Structure 1
Amino acid sequence: MDQKFKKIVLENSDTIVHMWMDEINSLKEGNYTSSISDELFESTNREFVNVIFTSIKDQGSSKALESFSEKLINLGWPLSYITDGLQVFRRVTFDYILSQSDKLDSPYISNILKSVDLWTEPIIRQLVNEYSGSWEHIVSLQRVALQELSAPLIPVMENITVMPLIGTIDTERAKLIMENLLEGVIKHNSDVVLIDITGVPVVDTMVAHHIIQAAEAVRLIGSTCILVGIRPEIAQTIVNLGIDLSNFPTKSSLKKGFTKALELTNRKVVDTKEKNVDIEEMIESLGGE
Structure 2
Amino acid sequence: MNAVALKKFVEENQKLALECSNLLAACNKWERECSLYDHDREALMDFANEADERAKEAEMRNFDLEEEKKKLEEELNFYKFRSERQMDEVSTDDLHEEQILLDALLTAMFGKDETTSTANSFLEAHSGVEECHKLLKMWTSLKPLTQKVLALAAEAKNLEKDKDHLTINLHRAEEEVNVLFEENNILNEENKRLIRLCHREKHISGSGGGSLSGKGKRKSSPKLSSPVEKKIDFGNLDPQRQPLSPLQSNSPESRMRKK
Give TM-score scaled by structure 2 length.
0.25
Q: What TM-score comes out, normalization by structure 1 length?
A: 0.23
Higher-Rg structure is 2
Higher RCO by CA contacts (8 Å cutoff, separation 6 or greater): 2
